[in-house]
Amino acid sequence: MLEISPRWRKVLRDLWLHKARTVLVVLAIALGITGAGSVLTTWAIVREVVDVGYRASNPASATIRVDSVGTGDVERLKAIPSIADVQAGRTIGARARVQGTFVPVRLFVRQDFVDSPIGKLRAESGAWPPGDGAIVIERSSLDIAGSGIGESLWVAEGEGQPIPLAVTGIARDVGLAPGWMEHVVYAFVNSQTMERLGAGSRLNEVLFTTRDSTLSQDAIRRIAFEAKAALEANGRAVRDIEVPVPRTHIHADQMNSLLYTQAGFGVLALILSALLALNLVEAMLAGQVREIGVMKAVGARPSQVATMYFAIAGFLGAIAAAIAIPASSAIGRQYANLTAGMLNFDAGGAAVPGWVVFVQVAVGIVLPMLAASLPVVRGSRLPVSAALRDYGVTASDAGSSLLAAIGGLTRPLLLSLRNAFRRRARMARTLLTLSMGGAVFLGALNLKKSIRLAMDASFDAMNYDMTLGVAPSRAVPELEAAIASVPGVRTAQAWGSGSAVVVRDDGTWGNSFGLSAVPPVSAFFSPSLSAGRWLGEGLSREIVVSARLQDSEPALAVGATVTLRIGDTTSTWTVVGMIPATLGSAWISRDALMAVTGDSMVSRAVVAFADTAAAAQSETRRLVNERLMSSGLRVNSSMVDDSRAAIEDHLLMVADFLSVMGWVMLIVGGLGLASTMSLAVMERTREIGVLRAIGARHGAIHAIVQIEGLVIAVTSWLLAIPLSAPMGAVLGGAFGRIFFRTPVPIVPQLAGVITWLGVVVLVSAVACAWPAIRATRISARTALAYE
């Protein structure tokens, strides 16, 4: 039978003897690994799913929109040496009737759904490809569509009447931003169905991929223009060219930024749990100093002693990792699914990569060993004579003259205050964990409030309740009058819309972006600008862009003059201002748009309702739709509140994750306080015995310990308040830049500060309960005989 040597028996029995402390160390490290491991797991899964999934879909390098794809066009482009694959398709805007109103639909048609090499789709359930008269819905649009397999979706295109299309399947297109985010129904139909809808069967898009997969966006754009020339030589009219950033999902940058920010918190949780582990290992070693002296006296070398305690730390860390890894895997996978879903990827069922588990095991073992290194090395090097004289009772630090100078303090309270500051390094570590926990907690709390405020600021710019799209376009007064005549409508305003591309110096075009054309002075739209100014009156060709658009088209800097192609015309515009990303891509004057395009008709309107009640608004929406349809218009509409809710709910879910981090740190901080107080009681066993001997009762001893803990807790609360300011700035800055392209201002909430005080007082009471009870159990006789 394997004989365990005496030194390792001692190690194992010491762990068992101090079960509570052993459990605390394991718990502290496990919490830190769970927090950091969850974020690491999420990042690893999302990165792999998105990278692999996106690449596997073979996304188009560029898309060229033409009037009609003709015979030989695909082969002609395939003949261009730098082009690998070519595929024809069509994307058209339609509308679907959902619960009495119309919602926008984007229908995708492919030359060949089954064998399409570009932008591969994945059939999730039901039939594939879409058959005649059938429709397959993209899974992220299911909620908006309100119809599932076996049901019908009533779809209309152009001037046609809505016809029922059988929903026969659900598919996923990872190249699309989620339909719920865009508030549009994405769906797939075949050419025959397009004919039934009255849209004809022609295709009008050519997608291609390049042979060289490492080309830059500009290099791809040049190839696209080569293809454009080839198409034009064959008599095609090219409408626009879209060249996405190669090899990158459109929202991948945002997601990486978010995950990196959360990773920062994961690392912070890990550091705080390491500090707690340091406190606990120090406590463990403080009670072992004399035994270390004895071991050295009987021949143990410093390295042998150090190995024993490093082994303890590593062993406890391994146990902590064994507990934490299943938890972090479960949490990480859930969160990965949520996060990947925001990019329209499916991470459900994704396995946790092996290296993530390995990293957590390694950190779990190494971290406590690192945390233990200072006290272990110090303890193992302590001279034997000094170690043998140690009985775990500390010499008192110099009593604070400041405390003594404060009048009106009772002796027990003074004792508590002095005790709290006796061991400054340990006090500092405990304060750091508690106050950082508070700062993150307050920061996350403030962030949620600030998300709502940022959404308010964005959506407050929209002084309307509903947007409408109509076809065919109408004159402004006619459209406004028709809408305004509906009961329940307070007022309406017609806006223009279109799309534009930046014409670059080399003659190539940037990617197309949407234009909203409004009367410059409009009661309906009052945005806050992040730079520059709003549009001027009259026909001046001024444009206000969003920060996100400016990121992808750097030429659109405030103050710059750019050439824009709008429809078939080219004109020069001046960028005068910048707005938050949530308010659309670009804004110009309605009159200026009409002057440039020569088209005085509009196809968009915004409507403000008289009644704020949801039921009344729903009814008014229905009436407006009916009224306009009865006048021969095709209509689709969406409510501003619905759009806001969809985005805000998902942002708040992400903020909730940060709140969870705050709670993790709070628990770590509470454990830190509990361990500090336990150690404090142990160190002052003789002192407590003396207090007993001079008449201190249970209540007084209990109070001394509780008050000492409370002093530390309240001090941490005071520190957390100023710490939450930079914490909030980091969170708001990162979050805001990721989602809104401008920092989200963090507004400290007094309610949160008060809540945190309550939480920290409660944590202190709980953390100090057991040490206080232990202190009351120390008898005078036992304490005075303590060695």
Partner 1 sequence: MISLRNVSRTFETPAGRFTALSDVSLDINAGEFVTVVGQSGSGKSTLLGLLAGIDRPTAGEVRVASTDVHTLGERAMSAWRGRAVGIVFQFFQLLPTLTALENVMLPMDFCGTFAARDRRKRAVGLLARVGVADQASKLPHTLSGGQQQRVAIARALANQPPVLLADEPTGNLDSQTSADVLALFDGLVREGQTLVMATHAAGARAYASRTVSLADGRVVRDEVLARA
* Ranges of H-type helices in 421-561: 424-460, 476-484, 547-552
CA distances from 133 to 60, 93, 97, 100, 601 (A): 28, 17, 16, 22, 33
Find how far residue 686's CA is from the centre of its chain: 52
CA distances from 105 to 60, 131, 152, 171 (A): 22, 18, 14, 15
With contact defined as beta carbons under 8 Å apart, do 488 and 610 qualify? yes
Per CB under 8 A, the list member of 14, 173, 390, 480 interacting with partner 1 is 14
Under rule CB under 8 A, residue 202 binds partner 1? no
Per CB under 8 A, the list member of 303, 485, 528, 631 interacting with partner 1 is 303
- Residue 211 or 381: the one with the smaller Cβ distance to partner 1 is 381
Under rule CB under 8 A, residue 785 binds partner 1? no
Stretch that binds partner 1, among 301-309, 497-505, 614-622, 724-732 (CB under 8 A): 301-309
- Residue 11 or 624: the one with the smaller Cβ distance to partner 1 is 11
Closest CA to 163 of 139, 126, 199, 111: 199
Strands 513-518 and 586-589, by their bridges, are parallel
Which residues, including other chains, have CB under 8 Å from residue 40's CB and lie 6 or more apart? 263, 266, 328, 332, 356, 359, 360
Under rule CB under 8 A, residue 381 binds partner 1? yes
Q: Smallest distance, Å, CB 292 to partner 1?
A: 10
Q: Which of residues 304-323 bind partner 1 (CB under 8 A)?
A: 304
C-alpha–C-alpha distance, residues 378 and 375, integer Å? 5
What residue has token string 């234009």?
Answer: 515
Q: Smallest distance, Å, CB 304 to partner 1?
A: 6
- Residue 316 or 420: the one with the smaller Cβ distance to partner 1 is 316
Find how far residue 726's CA is from the centre of its chain: 19
Residue 118 φ/ψ region, left for φ over 0, alpha for ψ in the -120 to 50 degree band, beta for the rest: beta
Strands 542-546 and 569-579, by their bridges, are parallel
Per CB under 8 A, the list member of 52, 79, 297, 481 interacting with partner 1 is 297
Stretch that binds partner 1, among 94-102, 212-220, 233-241, 376-384 (CB under 8 A): 376-384
Amino acid at 574: T
- Residue 292 or 442: the one with the smaller Cβ distance to partner 1 is 292
CA distances from 388 to 6, 91, 178, 287, 378 (A): 20, 84, 69, 12, 15
What mask of x and - would describe binding to partner 1 in positions 15 to 44, judged by CB under 8 A?
Answer: --x---------------------------
- Residue 1 or 613: the one with the smaller Cβ distance to partner 1 is 1
Q: Smallest distance, Å, CB 33 to partner 1?
A: 29
Q: Smallest distance, Å, CB 405 to partner 1?
A: 25
Q: Which of residues 277-296 bind partner 1 (CB under 8 A)?
A: 290-291, 294-296
Per CB under 8 A, the list member of 55, 78, 211, 301 interacting with partner 1 is 301
Under rule CB under 8 A, residue 781 binds partner 1? no
Q: Smallest distance, Å, CB 682 to partner 1?
A: 15
Stretch that binds partner 1, among 1-9, 45-53, 406-414, 499-507 (CB under 8 A): 1-9
Q: Smallest distance, Å, CB 19 to partner 1?
A: 13
Per CB under 8 A, the list member of 1, 114, 233, 298 interacting with partner 1 is 298
C-alpha–C-alpha distance, residues 725 and 443, integer Å? 8
Both tokens of 46, joined, read 């999302």
Burial letters 727-748, b for 16+ CB under 10 A, else e: bbebbbbbbbbbbbbbbbebeb
DSSP reduced 3-state for 691 = helix
- Residue 307 or 499: the one with the smaller Cβ distance to partner 1 is 307
Q: Smallest distance, Å, CB 786 to partner 1?
A: 13
Q: Which of residues 490-509 bind partner 1 (CB under 8 A)?
A: none
Under rule CB under 8 A, residue 152 binds partner 1? no
Question: Site for partner 1 (CB under 8 A): how many residues?
Answer: 28
- Residue 2 or 405: the one with the smaller Cβ distance to partner 1 is 2
Q: Smallest distance, Å, CB 680 to partner 1?
A: 22
Q: Smallest distance, Å, CB 744 to partner 1?
A: 56
Q: Which of residues 116-135 bind partner 1 (CB under 8 A)?
A: none
Under rule CB under 8 A, residue 393 binds partner 1? no
Q: Smallest distance, Å, CB 310 to partner 1?
A: 16
Stretch that binds partner 1, among 7-15, 108-116, 365-373, 714-722 (CB under 8 A): 7-15
Under rule CB under 8 A, residue 568 binds partner 1? no
Under rule CB under 8 A, residue 385 binds partner 1? yes
Q: Smallest distance, Å, CB 12 to partner 1?
A: 9
- Residue 13 or 777: the one with the smaller Cβ distance to partner 1 is 13
Under rule CB under 8 A, residue 388 binds partner 1? yes
Both tokens of 263, joined, read 């990773």
Instruction: Please give the backbone phi and psi of residue 554, each rounded to the nearest 5 degrees, phi first.
Output: -55, -20
Q: Smallest distance, Å, CB 323 to partner 1?
A: 25
Under rule CB under 8 A, residue 299 binds partner 1? yes
Which residues, including other chains, have CB under 8 Å from residue 637's CB and lie 6 or more apart? 101, 102, 103, 466, 467, 468, 469, 621, 624, 625
Q: What is the DSSP letter of 525?
A: B
For the residues of 44-108, what is the DSSP string, one character each? HHHHHHHHHHHHHT---SEEEEES---TTHHHHHHTSTTEEEEEEEEEEEEEEEETTEEEEEEEE
- Residue 7 or 120: the one with the smaller Cβ distance to partner 1 is 7
- Residue 17 or 762: the one with the smaller Cβ distance to partner 1 is 17
What is the enclosing helix (H) or strand (E) of 509?
A: none
What residue has token string 């659900």?
Answer: 170
Q: Given CA atoms 733, 739, 740, 745 in this order, what sign does their dihedral have?
A: negative
Q: Smallest distance, Å, CB 312 to partner 1?
A: 13
C-alpha–C-alpha distance, residues 393 and 370, integer Å? 26
Amino acid at 365: I
Q: Interface residues with partner 1 (CB under 8 A)?
A: 3, 5-7, 9-10, 13-14, 17, 290-291, 294-304, 381, 383-385, 388, 787
